[in-house]
Structures are given as C-alpha cells and as structure tokens.
Amino acid sequence: MADSAQDRNLPASQRKLDRARREGQAVRSRDLAHLAAVGGGGVALVAVAPMLSSALQHMLGDALRFDRQVVSNPAAMMERLAELTLIFLKIALPFGALTGLMAVIVAIAAGGWVWSLDPLMPNFGKMNPITGLPRIISKDQLGQTLKACGLALVLGVIGAMYLRSHFGEFSELLALPLPAALGKTTSLMLGGSGLMLLALALFAVIDVPLQKKLHSGRLKMSHQEVKQEHKELEGNAEVKGKVRALMRERAQRRMIHAVPKADLIVMNPTHYAVALRYDEASMAAPRVVAKGADLFAMRIRDVGKEHKVPVLQAPALARALYAHAEIDREIPAQLFSAVAQVLAYVYQLRAAMSGRGKMPGDLPELQVPAELDPHNKPRA
C-alpha cells in the first residue's frame, strides 16, 4: 500500500534530490522572476531613457510625415510600415532579451542550474480529469492560487491609487508638446513602476523561502521509502548471496580444471589443500593453481590422485599457503625455502618411480615462519 502524505516526515536523501533535479524539479519562485524581469526592464529603461525618448520622437515624426505620393501608393505605405516595425523591434527586442535573461539568472540563483527534457515529455496520465482533480485542489495549488490573487490585487490597488493621485498630471499630457509629453510620461511610468517593484520585492522575499519549504515537503520520504532506497543501494541480500555463490562455484570449477596440471598438492590431512605448479621457463616462483578447505580440499585431493598428481602431507605449509597465497599468483617469498624442499622431494620421487634414481626417504622438516601459520598466532 502506498505511503500516505502523513507518513512522509523524513528529509529527502541526496539520491532522491539528484533524481528530482534530473526530472526537472527544482526550487523556482515566480515572484522573484517577476521582480527580476520588471526590475531589470525598469533599470534598463532609466539607463536609456534619453536615447529612447529621442528614438520615439524620430519614429513618430517619420510616421506622421507623409505626402500625396505616399498616400496614393500602397506599396510605399507598406514599406513605411515595415520600416517602423523594424525600428520598434530594435527597441523592444533588447528589453525582452534583458528581462528574460534576468529571469533565468534569478531562477538559477534560487534553485541552481537544471537541464532536463523530462518536463517537456508528454504525460497522458495527467490528462485524466479524475486523477488530476486532487492535484488541482491540493494544498500547494490552493496556496499558489491565493498568493497569485493576492499579488494581482495588491498591484491593482497600487496602480489604481497611483493613477488617482496623478490623474491631473496624466490629463495635462494632452496639452504638452510631443517631446515634453514623452518625457513626462516616462517620469510618471517610472514612479508607478517603482511602487510596483516594492510590492513585488515584498512578495519575492516571502515567496523564495516558502517555495524552498514546499519543495522540501514534496520530496520528503517515508520510512518505507528510506528502507527501499537503502536496499537498492546496498543490493538485495538474497541476490547478493546468490551472486557470491555463483562466483564461488565458477571459481571452484576453474580451480578443479587446473588441478591436473599441478606438480603437487600440499595438504593438511582434513582441512586444507593447495595445488602448486612450477615451470622454470615461464615462472620465477611456484604458483598456486587451486586451494580449498574442508569438502573442497577433499575434492582437490581426489582429482589430483585421479591424475597422478603427488599429494604430500605438510600441515603447517598447507595452512600458510592457504592463508597467504592467492590463486594464479606466486607464493610469498617467505615460503620459497619450504616449497623448494617439497618440490625437490617430488622430483626425486618421480625420478625413483621412473627408474632414474633411488627412492627418497621421509619428507624433511619444513621451515615455515611461525607468523605465516594461522594456528600459531599468539593469543590476545
């Protein structure tokens, strides 16, 4: 059963935060974007106000200047319209680009850079009105709607009060010459825009931490989700056990196939078995081709006997090799002397069995360093 919203009281993990960013979910404040766009446009308007006023005067002057030839030629009127449109675009497009750039900058500052195409992908599941109704009437959506209505109401009240207090000045614009009217209009618009910017700034200061809190609330996790994520990261214990068992089986199968090529098998009678191989032409020291304990040690011994590989009882050496030698690696240097004695004994035994020498006596006592024998480690 899915976890309810009341059960999700744990903060989101870094993995869930990263997944949310890949899906395009980040902290975004519309009020902050509105403030940046309007504020950036206002600053740009103030900076280029003289140049803009002059350009508007020339544009209006050219637009209102025409003669009989221009009026009687529709093509000339279209050319004039195209020229005026191009001039207007040269003025409007930089302002649009500036306001858009400011909105992008504050969005990155609030929630960081997010590059994802997931929000653009069609999701037909959200087109179902029945399943989409809980999202429409959810607490977050109602809060966003009330906040947007409040902002619109505040801006409307500010605009109405400003127009009412400056109604006389706006009426006087009709009696002023065009250059003076443009300058006065710019001054009045800047005054009203400044008041609206103050209101937008107040809403943005409230909205940015609110959006961060709402974003964190949407990503909260339940105890079950935390456990499931931990299981996904660590891996299912049963699956990991099966994988380890499969790897162990493959390794044992590979070692059993290498036992017939060994030169001898060193054993502790009932617990350990280590198969060694040595080739003077290609190896600097003997190598371990197989090793095992308990039942697998018995299996190594049986396979070795089937292929006439000598099996020698050397408990201390077998324990040391099992504990410190790796498969397909050379034996430790501290065991060179003991292994050399064993190999020499095996070579003498083979020579005697083939009629090229006399039968050797008992295996000499091997010098195995006490620190390499696991059974000789000092007790704490």
Whether 183 and 83 map to the same domain: the answer is yes
Which residues face 276 on adjacent strands?
264, 288
Give the number of other CB atoms < 10 A from CB of residue 119. 10
User: Which amino acid appears at position 263 of this protein?
Assistant: D
Backbone φ and ψ for 51, nearest 5 degrees, come out as -65, -40
Whether 181 and 294 map to the same domain: the answer is no
Taken in order 347, 353, 359, 361, is the CA torsion positive or negative?
A: positive
pLDDT of residue 2: 44
Summarised one tens digit per residue, pLDDT across range 56-99 is: 667 766 666 666 666 677 777 777 778 778 877 777 787 777 77
Whether 178 and 264 map to the same domain: the answer is no
Whether 53 and 171 map to the same domain: the answer is yes
Summarised one tens digit per residue, pLDDT across range 168-206 is: 887 777 777 766 776 677 777 777 777 888 888 888 888
Give the number of other CB atoms < 10 A from CB of residue 363. 14
pLDDT of residue 376 exceeding 50:
yes
Whether 213 and 88 map to the same domain: the answer is yes
Give the number of other CB atoms < 10 A from CB of residue 183. 15
Number of domains in the chain: 2
**What band does 113 get if pLDDT is binned at 50, 70 and 90?**
low
Q: What share of the chain is helix, strand, coil (3-state, %, to 5)?
A: 70, 5, 25
Whether 273 and 365 map to the same domain: the answer is yes
Whether 190 and 318 map to the same domain: the answer is no
Strands (E), the chain: 264-268, 272-277, 287-293, 311-313
Residue that terminates a domain, selected from 219, 238, 271: 219
Identify the helix (H) or strand (E) that includes residue 61: helix 49-64
d(CA 254, CA 27): 55
Residue that terminates a domain, selected from 164, 196, 219: 219
Residue that terminates a domain, selected from 170, 201, 219: 219
**What band does 129 get if pLDDT is binned at 50, 70 and 90?**
low
**What band does 378 get if pLDDT is binned at 50, 70 and 90?**
low
129 lies in some domain: no
d(CA 3, CA 19): 19
Q: Do 317 and 271 contact (CB within 8 A), yes or no? A: no
Q: Do 266 and 321 contact (CB within 8 A), yes or no? A: yes
79 lies in some domain: yes
Tokens of 269: 């009678």
pLDDT of residue 132: 62
pLDDT of residue 152 exceeding 80:
yes
pLDDT of residue 1 exceeding 50:
no
CATH of the domain at 273: 3.40.1690.10
pLDDT of residue 348: 80
Per DSSP, the three-state class of 342 is: helix
pLDDT of residue 82: 80
pLDDT of residue 380: 43
Q: Do 36 and 103 contact (CB within 8 A), yes or no? A: yes
pLDDT of residue 367: 75
pLDDT of residue 28: 75
pLDDT of residue 108 exceeding 80:
no
Whether 287 and 205 map to the same domain: the answer is no
| Burial track 26-36 (b if 16+ CB lie within 10 A, e otherwise) | bbbbbbbbbbb
Summarised one tens digit per residue, pLDDT across range 227-255 is: 877 777 666 667 677 878 888 888 888 88
Which residues face 268 on adjacent strands?
272
Summarised one tens digit per residue, pLDDT across range 7-63 is: 777 777 777 777 777 776 777 777 777 777 777 777 776 666 667 667 766 776 666
| Burial track 127-157 (b if 16+ CB lie within 10 A, e otherwise) | eeeeeeeeeeeeeeeeebeebeeebeeebee
Summarised one tens digit per residue, pLDDT across range 304-358 is: 888 888 888 888 888 888 888 888 888 888 888 888 888 887 778 777 766 676 7
CA atoms within 13 A on the CB side of 330: 11
pLDDT of residue 224 exceeding 60:
yes
d(CA 23, CA 121): 10
109 lies in some domain: yes
User: Which amino acid appears at position 69 of this protein?
Assistant: Q
Give the number of other CB atoms < 10 A from CB of residue 187. 11
pLDDT of residue 139: 72
Higher pLDDT: 355 or 379? It is: 355
Give the number of other CB atoms < 10 A from CB of residue 167. 10
372 lies in some domain: yes
Whether 191 and 263 map to the same domain: the answer is no
Whether 24 and 170 map to the same domain: the answer is yes
239 lies in some domain: no
Whether 205 and 343 map to the same domain: the answer is no
- Please count the helices (runs of H) and the strands (runs of E) in the chain: 14, 4
Whether 186 and 316 map to the same domain: the answer is no
356 lies in some domain: yes
Query: Domain of 174?
Result: 12-120+148-219
d(CA 200, CA 211): 15
